Structure 1
Amino acid sequence: MATERILLTGATGYVGGTFIDRFVKSEEPILKAITIDALTRTDDVEQKLKETYGDRVNTIRWPGLSDLEFIEQIAANYDIVVNVGSGFFADGAKAFVKGLARRVKPKAPAPWILHISGCTNLGDRPLTGVAHPGRVFDDANSRATYDWCKEEDERRPWPQRTTEIGVLTLADELGVNALSLNAPAIFGEGTGLFNKQGIIVPVLMRYTVMNGYGFKLNDTANFDWVHVEDLADAYILLVKIILERYDRGIGYIPSGKDGIIHPSVGRVLHTEIFERCLDVCFAEGVLPREDTPKEKTIVLKSLQEITDDVGSGMVDMAELGWAGNKAMTGTVLPRLGWKPRHREEAWAKDFYDELKASREGRRGYVFDSCIGRKA
């Protein structure tokens, strides 16, 4: 019998809010009667969720990812944890695994954690380390990705990668099923009630408008991309599979050290993102201005300059994100039935949408919340 005990982190976030909205509105029979338990922090958030989604969303007040004892205790009540809050708090994420492990019983299907992580985990370091401009990580061989990430993190730790490897390793040790969606650049307007914006395109569009030009650290940096609705649908598909299958997806969905998968739809160079930003800004008359270049320009910058401007003060973030090759190929999700609806046309349209949103004051600079400084 399918479990109905599903716990969500990140209800106010970009991905989490979209997940809730699309889950509640899903027409899948097995999902229509299920209540999502969402971890929240404030009265106003709880009220808005209740007013919008009624009894389909049950709110649970929590102190955040730093209260490890609370996390373990609450997670012990669930069979599925959808952790799309922050991928940068290793101890907090592992506490969910430890809580789920209390539910592991002989001859019973083990619980699941569906984790979120990001493509900077895969980035090379072409400015301060070794460049791998042609490398592509394919989740058809997820164990090789796990092994590389583990070895790389021992050499040069990166909090998001440390968290991903920590969750998958601990889950294997404790008998919990764990899958990490190592997401690329996420774009599009979110459908949740709170944060509706992504990071990469809004940040680079804002940079373009403010400075009148784009920047680059090299010519090989790239991003894969996925629309936020398609990413949310990937998590919903995984939950559906776990609920529907007699084996709870165990052995069917990859897990643990084989559990890094890539929800990738397209790929683009960093410089191509700025080319699109500039094209839109020039087409809409936002650029050029008197104090900006009269031609579409992408300027070579230093790592420190970009760390200060759009790296949240973190050199690693700047190099992995804005200089790194992070190419990924996703084969697992399509095999499971994932059918992304937002492709090249939606990607191109997003640049117009982001410029419009920025001009209307609907975009803030939220990099710190993305990397977990406000978790």
Structure 2
Amino acid sequence: MADLNILVTGAAGYIGGSVIAALLSENTQFPTKNLFAAVRTEEQVQSLQSLGVKALQLDLLNEQKVAEAVLQNEIDIVVHTAGSIDARLAAHLILALGKRREATGKDTYHIHSSVTTGYSKEGGWPYGTIKDGDPVYKMEKELNDGFPIRTTNTAVTELAKEQGVTNFIVGVPFVYGTGSGKWKKLSQNIPATVKASITLKAVYKFDQDSKFVAVHISDLAEFYVLMIKKILQGEKLPSGEEGYYFAVAHEVGWWDIAQSLAGALSARGLVTEPQARIWPSDDMAAEALDLPRQFVRLMHTARVTIDYNKRYPLGWEPKWDDQQKLLASMGEEVAATLQHDKGRTTLFDVLKTTN
């Protein structure tokens, strides 16, 4: 197995922190000397360094600082979990990896975290279900409609090709469960709904139900670890225009989630009834969930379907592989929100600034 240095961005976040924890759990294959974590604050640096990881306080918008970090620390693989909307963040990492490849003659790798919302009808995707082997890059490129997630995907793919960097796009679906990272433990939609429900004394759902794809955070972290293992083993994975992967374990319905949350919150006496109501208006939902009105319905009703013909990519074996496990865990989701809530998530902040 190759001895390559790995940088995880967003390492104090929900996904990035869980990826770091998953890598550390297999320290015989991923020694701490090879693990680097990009974070935003000195407090986060100190927290992650206590794990033995080299943490870097790094502004990904600063192209020069990113290049210095990649070159000085001899980074070969970047797992970018710090943002799927702003293409500049990934671009600076890819440019730095391109310089690293040029200086050493060694292959460099960029794993870009996207989101599956970009493949919903509500998000402007006209092609329906994505099937295993579909030319997703070509479909995004031909659509060329300016949707931020898809625009970033194509820009990242093209820049990586130009720089000679091996690039993979990981489509991240709805994520749930308690994270294993040192810093951020919570996902986005379910904790936001829990907090709004406690405030309003009732669980609300939209008047339109939606089935969408989902994954437990522990399974998602293992997906990234599996991809890194295959890179280190020298396996030639489809990359670039053919390098789109979807870490989808199962589908779930939002109405089912809302109803299960209503039961869990009612059992704790945190809402007045064990039934979910319909939001009276999108305005009320946006205010309660602390989201821009233009995104609030999309984030709760967008239908995304990914068909892998009953096979998971890369030989991945998610343990949370059906919606019943998720629905049965709503009590745990409530408890985790009450224990770990630290305010609005980074994604919500980004959405606020794009409104």
Q: Normalised by the size of structure 2, how large is the TM-score?
A: 0.87
Match of 1:18 in 2: 18
> Secondary structure of 1:190's partner?
coil
Match of 1:237 in 2: 226
CA distance in 2, matches of 1:285, 1:32: 46
The within-5 A match list for 1:330-349 is: 330=308, 334-344=312-322, 346-349=325-328
Residue 67 of structure 2 aligns with an amino acid whose one-letter code is: E
Q: CA-to-partner distance for each residue in 1:237-279, whole Å, 9 max, x for gaps?
A: 111111112xxx33xx221122221111111122221111112
> Secondary structure of 2:160's partner?
helix
Asked if residue 329 in structure 1 is aligned to residue 329 in structure 2, the reply is no
Q: CA-to-partner distance for each residue in 1:98-151, whole Å, 9 max, x for gaps?
A: 11112345995531101111121112228xx7888xx3223x2242x2233334
Asked if residue 68 in structure 1 is aligned to residue 67 in structure 2, the reply is no
2:130 to 133, 137, 156: 137
> Secondary structure of 2:79's partner?
strand
Structure ranking higher on relative contact order (CA contacts 8 Å, 6+ apart):
1
Alpha carbons 1:217, 1:301 under 8 Å: kept: no
Asked if residue 111 in structure 1 is aligned to residue 108 in structure 2, the reply is yes
| Aligned CA distance change for structure 1 residues 217 and 333 (closer, same or farther; 3 Å) | same
Residue 366 of structure 1 aligns with an amino acid whose one-letter code is: R
CA distance in 1, matches of 2:39, 2:109: 21
Alpha carbons 1:182, 1:261 under 8 Å: kept: yes
CA distance in 2, matches of 1:257, 1:371: 30
CA distance in 1, matches of 2:289, 2:142: 28
Match of 1:199 in 2: 188
Asked if residue 357 in structure 1 is aligned to residue 336 in structure 2, the reply is yes
Residue 90 of structure 2 aligns with an amino acid whose one-letter code is: A
| Aligned CA distance change for structure 1 residues 368 and 2 (closer, same or farther; 3 Å) | closer
2:120 to 123, 142, 161: 123
Q: CA RMSD in A?
A: 3.0
2:173 to 172, 184, 190: 184
Match of 1:5 in 2: 5
CA drift at 1:75: 3.1
Asked if residue 216 in structure 1 is aligned to residue 206 in structure 2, the reply is yes
| Aligned CA distance change for structure 1 residues 130 and 184 (closer, same or farther; 3 Å) | closer
Q: CA-to-partner distance for each residue in 1:181-205, whole Å, 9 max, x for gaps?
A: 1111111111111100011221222
| Aligned CA distance change for structure 1 residues 297 and 16 (closer, same or farther; 3 Å) | closer
| Aligned CA distance change for structure 1 residues 48 and 213 (closer, same or farther; 3 Å) | closer
Deviates most, 208-217 or 233-242: 208-217
Q: Normalised by the size of structure 1, how large is the TM-score?
A: 0.82
Asked if residue 279 in structure 1 is aligned to residue 274 in structure 2, the reply is no
Deviates most, 169-178 or 39-48: 39-48
Q: CA-to-partner distance for each residue in 1:42-71, whole Å, 9 max, x for gaps?
A: 3322222222x22xx112232x22212222
> Secondary structure of 1:30's partner?
coil
CA distance in 1, matches of 2:96, 2:125: 39
Asked if residue 94 in structure 1 is aligned to residue 85 in structure 2, the reply is no
Alpha carbons 2:60, 2:66 under 8 Å: kept: yes
Identity of paired residues, percent? Answer: 23
Residue 137 of structure 2 aligns with an amino acid whose one-letter code is: Y
| Aligned CA distance change for structure 1 residues 371 and 41 (closer, same or farther; 3 Å) | closer
> Secondary structure of 1:339's partner?
coil
Match of 1:291 in 2: none
| Aligned CA distance change for structure 1 residues 297 and 191 (closer, same or farther; 3 Å) | closer
> Secondary structure of 2:329's partner?
helix
1:163 to 152, 155, 159: 152
Alpha carbons 1:214, 1:274 under 8 Å: kept: yes
CA distance in 2, matches of 1:310, 1:9: 27
| Aligned CA distance change for structure 1 residues 239 and 297 (closer, same or farther; 3 Å) | closer
Alpha carbons 1:71, 1:99 under 8 Å: kept: yes
Match of 1:147 in 2: 138
Q: CA-to-partner distance for each residue in 1:4-27, whole Å, 9 max, x for gaps?
A: 221111111111111111211216
| Aligned CA distance change for structure 1 residues 368 and 43 (closer, same or farther; 3 Å) | closer
Residue 75 of structure 1 aligns with an amino acid whose one-letter code is: V
> Secondary structure of 1:141's partner?
coil
| Aligned CA distance change for structure 1 residues 107 and 96 (closer, same or farther; 3 Å) | closer
Alpha carbons 2:185, 2:340 under 8 Å: kept: no
> Secondary structure of 2:26's partner?
coil
CA drift at 1:85: 1.5
CA distance in 1, matches of 2:178, 2:274: 30
